[in-house]
């Protein structure tokens, strides 16, 4: 392979990594606080939907007067909407699993199920077809040179790695978040509100996963399509485990999975392997990791358990 192809491959790998990274870092906030967030997949979808719809309606007045009009702020409002909606869906997950002490996995499954039905209903109501939204004209800009032209959200995703690390390991908030996930009773006894920290963790994870969704619909593409996420939420969850719930580990894992996805698209023509084979490799790899062949993954101790204040 010559350099051009290799660079293109690297570029698309980084692009494929970004949404995974958003979701996985989001998942980390949630899981570090002790709440399993299997709903990432659904939140990505909701985020993507919100971003596409809001961008479309913000640019609509200008577009109707002059097709192709540039409304630079439209996609940014869309990004904001995706964050809000993601946070909102995260809030639902938080309410059900923290306030009502539901099984966190069931709650997550329910949100993922909703992410199949609700977008279809909304799209039918707005555009009369249940699969795609209208296309938008103003997508997020691209910054960079040559093969390395990325949406700002890609830079943000990678920037979030050190930020997350700093927040989790160098701030009181991060310490409390981790304490709540490891030993909620102890945290409670020194006056940390377990409930509030967990709400914060889950909603933050929703905001980040929503960003991942926004990247999919208005960063990498120009409309929302159902099943746009294609299991990225679950891959992110796997990456989170693969990366042992640590920002740097997560970065490595998502890069690996992103590379696989880039390979899948680059080699899609069946030049090397059938794409279906490449598709399943990250999943098999993660299972091997989980089985401990590549080092043990130890989750936060109190994960999945509702906190009963004694």
Partner 1 sequence: MSERLAVAAFALVTLVALWVAPWAAFSRETGSRAAVILLPDRVIDFTGRTEPISVPGHAAVLWLSVAGLAVVAGGAALPGRARYGAWLAAGVLLIGTATWGLAQFDAAVETRRAQAFQEAIAPNIADPRPNQDAERLRQLSEQALTRPVERSVELAREAGVVVRRLPYGGSAPGFAAFLTLVAGAAALLFGLRLWPRAGRVLDRVLTAVAIPAVSIALALLAAAVVILLLQPTPLGRDVVVSGPVMALAGRLDTLWHAYYILFSGSLGTTKGFFDALSFATPLIFTGLAVGFGFRAGLFNIGAPGQMVLGAIGAMFVGLYLPGPAWVVLPAAVLAAAVGGGLWGAIPGFLKARFGANEVINTILLNFVAASLMLFMLSSSPTFAASAVRVIQLIAWVVVASVVGLLVPPIRRVMRISPRLTLAAVAVVTLVGAVVVAQPRPGDQPVVLNLPFKAPGSEPKSFELSEAARIPRLPAMFGIDLRATPGTNVVPVDAAAWIAGLLAVLAFVGGGAVAAVRRRGFQGRILAALAVAAVAYAVLAAIGWRALPLTIPPTNLNPSFLLALAAAVFVWLFLFRTRYGYELRATGLAPKAAEYGGANIPRNTVMAMAISGALAGLTATHYVLGGALEDYALRQSLPTGDGFDGIAVALLGANHPVGTVLAAFLFGVLKNGGSAMNIAFTDLTRDVVSMVLALVVLFIAAKGFLPDRLTHPLRRAQALGDLPEEPTGGTPGGDVPVVAPKVAATEGDR
Residues making contact with partner 1 (CB under 8 A): 36, 38, 92, 95-97, 100-103, 105-107, 109-114, 116-118, 120-121, 124-125, 128, 130, 231, 234, 237-238, 241, 270-274, 276-277, 279-280, 283-284, 286-287, 290-293, 299
Q: Decide whether 189 or 280 has the Cβ nearer to partner 1.
A: 280
Shortest Å, Cβ 306 to partner 1: 9
Shortest Å, Cβ 163 to partner 1: 26
Shortest Å, Cβ 289 to partner 1: 9
Q: Decide whether 29 or 234 has the Cβ nearer to partner 1.
A: 234
212-233: burial string, b at 16+ Cβ within 10 Å, e else: bbbbbbbbbbbbbbbebbbebb
Written as six digits, the tokens of 289 are 């990791």
Contact 12, 265 (CB under 8 A): yes
Shortest Å, Cβ 116 to partner 1: 6
Q: Decide whether 117 or 144 has the Cβ nearer to partner 1.
A: 117
Shortest Å, Cβ 158 to partner 1: 25
Q: Is 230 left (phi over 0), alpha (psi -120 to 50) or beta?
A: left
Q: Decide whether 178 or 232 has the Cβ nearer to partner 1.
A: 232
Task: Decide the pairing of beta strands 143-145 and 148-150.
Answer: antiparallel
Shortest Å, Cβ 32 to partner 1: 16
Q: Decide whether 42 or 201 has the Cβ nearer to partner 1.
A: 42
The CA-CA-CA angle for residues 259, 260, 263, to 5°, reads: 85
Give bridge partners of residue 149 from the DSSP assignment: 144
- Burial (CB < 10 A; 0-12, 13-18, 19+), residue 57, is middle
Q: Decide whether 265 or 279 has the Cβ nearer to partner 1.
A: 279
Q: Which helix (H) or strand (E) holds 148?
A: strand 148-150
60, HSE (Cβ side, Cα atoms, 13 Å) = 10
């Amino acid at each position: 392979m010559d350099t051009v192809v290799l660079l293109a491959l690297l570029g698309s790998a980084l692009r494929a990594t970004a949404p995974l990274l958003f979701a996985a870092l989001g998942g980390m906030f949630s899981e570090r606080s002790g709440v399993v967030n299997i709903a990432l997949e659904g939140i990505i979808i909701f985020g993507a939907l919100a971003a596409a719809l809001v961008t479309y309606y913000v640019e609509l007045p200008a577009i109707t007067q002059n097709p192709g009009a540039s409304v630079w702020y439209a996609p940014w409002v869309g990004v904001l909407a995706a964050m809000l909606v993601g946070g909102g869906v995260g809030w639902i997950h938080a309410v059900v699993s923290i306030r009502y002490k539901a099984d966190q996995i069931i709650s997550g499954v329910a949100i993922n199920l909703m992410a199949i039905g609700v977008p279809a209903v909304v799209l039918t109501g707005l555009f009369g077809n249940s699969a795609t939204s209208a296309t938008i004209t103003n997508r997020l800009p691209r910054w960079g040179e040559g093969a390395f032209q990325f949406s700002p959200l890609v830079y943000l995703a990678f920037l979030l790695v050190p930020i997350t690390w700093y927040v989790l390991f160098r701030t009181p908030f991060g310490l409390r978040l981790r304490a709540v996930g490891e030993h909620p009773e102890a945290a409670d006894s020194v006056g940390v509100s377990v409930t509030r920290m967990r709400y914060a963790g889950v909603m933050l994870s929703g905001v980040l996963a929503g960003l991942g969704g926004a990247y999919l619909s208005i960063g990498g593409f120009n409309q929302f399509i159902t099943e746009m996420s294609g299991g990225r939420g679950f891959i992110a969850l796997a990456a989170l485990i693969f990366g042992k719930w640590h920002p740097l580990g997560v970065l490595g894992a998502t890069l690996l999975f992103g590379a696989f996805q880039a390979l899948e698209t680059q080699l899609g023509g069946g030049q090397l392997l059938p794409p279906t084979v490449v598709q399943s490799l990250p999943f098999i790899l993660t299972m091997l990791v989980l089985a401990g062949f590549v080092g043990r993954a130890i989750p936060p101790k109190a994960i999945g358990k509702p906190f009963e204040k004694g």
